[in-house]
Structure 1
Amino acid sequence: MRVRTGGRRHEEYDDDDGHGHQHSPAGPRVARLLTLPALALLLFPPPALGSYSAEREAAERAAQGVGTFPALPSGEPLDLTLAEFGSRAVYDSERSLKGRTVRLTGFVTRDDDGTWYVTRLLVSCCAADATTSKVEVRGADAPATDTWVTVTGTWRPEGTLGTDTAWPPVLDAGSVWTVEEPANPYEKR
């Protein structure tokens, strides 16, 4: 029921025990409160996603279908993104990476057992939709977590193609170099 009092419009509501009470419009106050989170993000932007985000994502790699891939270019080492390397290592029935020397760049992440990975976050649109691409590195000491590195080495086939046993792919390191973080630290899908 709407009631006019003193030129201002109020609405009368009955609560659960039947007693009516009046409310004044709260719209402008609520709108001001809703701007606080947006203002906080503008004044204190979150840091770029890193190893914490990558470690949280479980290896949810369902079989996407094993098949063939286009031929790789000649020359070595072969510069690949982590996503390209991972796709070929896990799903390429021709095993085109076998015997090839590749070069991968990303940041260092680790498991609790000491296993380390060169990792990159892949985005379609923005950091909010980021997923992880990582390659286990063997045969080299791990730099500090979140350090950007370029790793050169050869693929070590493990597991059954197209299954979780082939994930994450493994690289036998020939060399590991510390590098500067790229201007765009994310790979595009």
Structure 2
Amino acid sequence: MRRYGPALLLVLTGAAILRISLFSALYLRYVQPALRPYLVVSGVVLVVLGLLAAVVRRKSYDDEDFAYDDDARARDEDGSGHGHDEHEHEDEDEHGYSHHGHGPRVAWLLTLPALALLLFPPPALGSYSAGREAAQRASEGVGTFPALPAGNPVDLSVAQFSSRAIYDSGRSLKGRTVRMTGFVTHGDGDTWYLTRLLVSCCAADATTSKVEIRGADPTPADTWMTVTGTWHPKGKLGTDAAWPPVLDATSARQVKQPADPYEKR
């Protein structure tokens, strides 16, 4: 099997990428939906390269074994042969290195990340990542925002609610009932937040937006909740005193994590 190590690693990596992008929506834990075609193409290319590498490797070994058999027969005929054992012993030295280009056996550990992604894809970022992120500020500063849609409750993302609560001089949230979905993070004491992570490209650039929830009992961290309530004004617009914004909850219910756990900028 050592001869097929590089090929196997390519196939495993490609299969793992295809599993999360072509055969499921798990890729949304890591990248934007628009990147799916690139992931699928990458996975297919890696699998094809792995299969081609296996074929080439097999052919090279068959040719090598054929050449060795001819050489061994020639040595046997003139009485100088040492048998097939010498050839086998030359395959590896005492350090585990192959003399035919396989590399050290420890290189097989490179298959572990590919197997982990194939069998146990890591979860989306959650409360731990959100807790390490500093407070984010909207780039537009204090100003007026477009009017909210008619009707109550109005569905907003956590980021949209935060921006309006902190920067909207028109106070468009006043008197409106809003509904948001996010996961739970905890603060001091019984304080808890409805939180979402925002991404521009992939999980590596994720930043945090959160809303303090009052009037509803806290639940375990990383629990996904849909919360309905009204804005609770605090602090001066555009200042640290206004962050994080507050929602007085009228209802809060646990929901499943959405297929795409990240909000988009």
Specify the alignment match of 2:237 in structure 1. Answer: 161
Specify the alignment match of 1:76 in structure 2. Answer: 152
**Aligned partners of 2:168, 2:116: CA distance in 1, in Å?**
44
Structure of greater Rg: 2
**Aligned partners of 2:204, 2:246: CA distance in 1, in Å?**
27
Q: Partner letter of residue 110 of structure 1?
A: H
Structure 1 residue corresponding to 2:191, chosen from 115, 127, 134: 115
DSSP 3-state at the match of 1:112: coil
**Aligned partners of 2:152, 2:253: CA distance in 1, in Å?**
17
DSSP 3-state at the match of 2:222: coil
- Aligned-residue offset at 1:65: 1.7
Q: Hey, which of these two has a bigger chunk of strand by percent?
A: 1
Specify the alignment match of 2:207 in structure 1. Answer: 131
**Aligned partners of 2:138, 2:264: CA distance in 1, in Å?**
21
- Aligned-residue offset at 1:58: 1.9
Q: What's the TM-score, normalizing by structure 1? A: 0.77
**Aligned partners of 2:138, 2:260: CA distance in 1, in Å?**
28
Q: Does structure 1 conserve the Cα–Cα contact (< 8 Å) formed by 2:138 and 2:163?
A: no
Q: Does structure 2 conserve the Cα–Cα contact (< 8 Å) formed by 1:122 and 1:130?
A: yes
Q: Does structure 2 conserve the Cα–Cα contact (< 8 Å) formed by 1:119 and 1:134?
A: yes
DSSP 3-state at the match of 1:44: helix
- Aligned-residue offset at 1:144: 1.5
Specify the alignment match of 2:91 in structure 1. Answer: none
Structure 2 residues not aligned, in runs of 5+ = 1-101
Structure 1 residues not aligned, in runs of 5+ = 1-27
Structure 2 residue corresponding to 1:102, chosen from 178, 187, 190: 178
- Aligned-residue offset at 1:64: 4.7
Q: Partner letter of residue 51 of structure 1?
A: S
Structure 2 residue corresponding to 1:148, chosen from 207, 220, 224: 224
CA deviations on 1:56-109 (whole Å, 9 max, x unpaired) are 112243875200011111000000001110000000000100110000000111
**Aligned partners of 2:126, 2:169: CA distance in 1, in Å?**
32
CA deviations on 1:19-62 (whole Å, 9 max, x unpaired) are xxxxxxxxx97xx97x94xx554333433100000111122438
**Aligned partners of 1:155, 1:117: CA distance in 2, in Å?**
14
RMSD (Å), alpha carbons: 2.1
Superposed structure 1 runs of 4+ greater than 2 Å apart? 39-47, 60-64
**Residues 1:48 and 1:74: Cα distance change in structure 2 (over 3 Å):** same
DSSP 3-state at the match of 2:227: strand
Specify the alignment match of 1:3 in structure 2. Answer: none
DSSP 3-state at the match of 2:129: helix
**Residues 1:179 and 1:134: Cα distance change in structure 2 (over 3 Å):** same
Specify the alignment match of 2:164 in structure 1. Answer: 88
CA deviations on 1:108-158 (whole Å, 9 max, x unpaired) are 110132210011111110111100111000011012111110000000011
Q: Does structure 2 conserve the Cα–Cα contact (< 8 Å) formed by 1:61 and 1:164?
A: no
Q: Hey, which of these two has a bigger chunk of helix by percent?
A: 2
- Aligned-residue offset at 1:166: 0.6
Q: Partner letter of residue 209 of structure 2?
A: S
**Aligned partners of 1:99, 1:167: CA distance in 2, in Å?**
20
